[in-house]
Amino acid sequence: MSTLSVGEALIAALKDLGVDTVFGIPGVHTVELYRGLAGSAVRHVTPRHEQGAAFMADGYARVTGRPGVCLLITGPGFTNAITAIAQARADSVPMLILSGVNPVETRGRHLGLLHELPDQAALSRTVCLKTWTLTDPEALGDVLTEAFVTMTHGRPGPVHIEIPIDVMKMRVPRPRISLPPKPRPAPTAEALTKAARLCTESRSPLILAGGGCVPAAASLRNVAAALDAPVVSTINARGVMAGHPLKLPVSPSLDPVRDLMARSDLVLALGTEMGRTDYDMYDRGALPPHPNLVRVDIDSEQLTARGDSGLQIIGDAGAFLDALHPHLSPEARGGAARAAVARRRAMDGLSPAYRRQIEMIEGIWRALPDAIIVGDSTQPVYAGNLLIDAPCPGAWFNSATGYGTLGYALPAAIGAAIGAPDRPVVALTGDGGLQFSLSELGSAADIDANVTTLVWNNAGYQEIEAAMLADDVTPVGVTPSAPDFVAIARAYGLHADRLDGPRGVPEKVLSTPRPALLDIRVSKEI
């Protein structure tokens, strides 16, 4: 029987599992993992930093629905990526981290080896759903199978496999891998009957749709129409009700949505963890308990984390919606009017600056209807997270909530462009956030990425400065100097230009060849 090295077998197995792209920076501890890449159909993309590799994998996973895959060196390669892995964990993004680790016999002995960590697997377990150390080369197929099932068959998230560098070179037969069908846990008959009764009796229902509803957008729209219920979409669910009169793409942290929830006699919370950065962004106190709350979540731990009363159903949001719909008879309940009032009140409550920023983003979609906008923690993204719809699910995502990283937008946009090569991608970042991953402009140039980077350049961390002033703290550390972004982008070979304010941004995005960078200079008043 012919055999392969573990490194070659790994690449062959990834191809069999449908992986077409991996992100990573090779090092002396992962050379063997690269042995099979040159002759493989699996594409390798080299970022400038391992954090960029994991952010790229995140963006790729969000637009394809398939796991993003990283190859990382032992020690610093893995630790460099931890921030991005934690963002994926917070946002339930499937990601496979493949790393080296020092030889089996050296583990835990603290011999001062290159890239040595006291316990890399223990560190991994703080951010990953699960981690494995492959010491038996013939277990490669089983471990990969378990990893894919773990990160995709329940609440998605990152997983990690570390392979000792001596094990990488061992010979194994090519693994045969067959993944079981992905389950769609449906509600029990008893739970479905209770939910259907509550829906039938309701006069003013409301739906809270989280990221778990994205794969089931059509089913959500069917149930919403039957119930005539407004649908509040969290940030990760924006676009699920695009163009529908029942859409309410407004942050549930805002008073008009909170008021609507309080006035609704039934709230269906579907595929949403009801996390603080979606539902209590301003730390004014958790949502009050609702007397008629139905929560559906694939993760049983999420159902109990908040201590909610009401009907709690463990299951897939799409499976629940498909099971519920036949039990509903369409009935007018004034849902579109309720949604319109809440949308208008929410928009009226935003500052003029936020409204201008929302108009800029909506203008980009008018110019490029199929664009994917990937955001960092920056003012226009904060504005959009409060109130903006996307033309379709997955066209708006960012790192400004949950784990809340900086430096996300550009590398995640590159990953998104690789996953959706026929769609233009816009990375929306600030002058501070971009400097976390500025060198990834080179990665965009390397692969001729279909990405335009918009830099909201207000000369510092303006949101943090405002928070300090609001708390009577003299601002310190909020005005880091910025380089000439246009010159740097051009030095990497990108098209680049500078704009004075947001006026004309959509037209410039449309007309500038990609990859590109547009430096938008703005004052504190904009």
| pLDDT digits (tens), the chain, 526 positions | 689 999 999 999 999 999 999 999 999 888 998 988 988 999 999 999 999 999 999 999 999 999 999 999 999 999 999 999 999 999 999 999 999 987 767 777 776 776 778 888 899 999 999 999 999 999 999 999 999 999 999 899 999 999 999 999 999 999 989 899 988 888 999 999 999 999 999 999 999 999 999 999 999 999 999 999 999 999 999 999 999 999 999 999 999 999 999 999 999 999 999 888 888 888 877 777 788 999 999 988 887 777 677 899 999 999 999 999 999 999 999 999 999 999 999 999 999 999 999 999 999 999 999 999 999 999 999 999 999 999 999 999 999 988 999 999 999 999 999 999 999 999 999 999 999 999 999 999 999 999 999 999 998 888 888 888 988 899 988 888 899 999 999 999 999 999 999 999 999 999 999 999 999 999 865 5
Instruction: Give residue 524's pLDDT.
Output: 65
| Three-class SS state of 16 | helix
Buried b (16+ CB within 10 A) or exposed e, 289-323: ebebbbbbbbbeebbeebebeebbbbbbbbbbbbb
| Three-class SS state of 502 | coil
| Three-class SS state of 169 | coil
Whole-number Å distance between alpha carbons of 434 and 412 = 12
Q: DSSP code of 448?
A: T
- What 500-508 contacts at long range (C-beta under 8 Å, 24+ apart), as own/partner pairs, is 501/526, 502/356, 502/357, 502/359, 502/360, 502/380, 502/526, 505/360, 505/363, 505/364, 505/454, 506/360, 506/363, 506/364, 506/366, 506/367, 506/368, 507/367
Q: Which residue has the tokens 């062959």?
A: 12
231 phi and psi angles, rounded to 5 deg: -120, 115
287 phi and psi angles, rounded to 5 deg: -60, 140
Whole-number Å distance between alpha carbons of 161 and 143 = 8
Q: Where are the beta strands (DSSP E) in 337-462?
A: 372-375, 396-398, 425-430, 451-457
Q: How far is CA 349 from the centre of its chain?
A: 27
Q: DSSP code of 331?
A: -
Instruction: Give residue 109's pLDDT.
Output: 72
Whole-number Å distance between alpha carbons of 236 and 218 = 16
Do 399 and 376 form a contact (C-beta atoms < 8 A)? Answer: yes
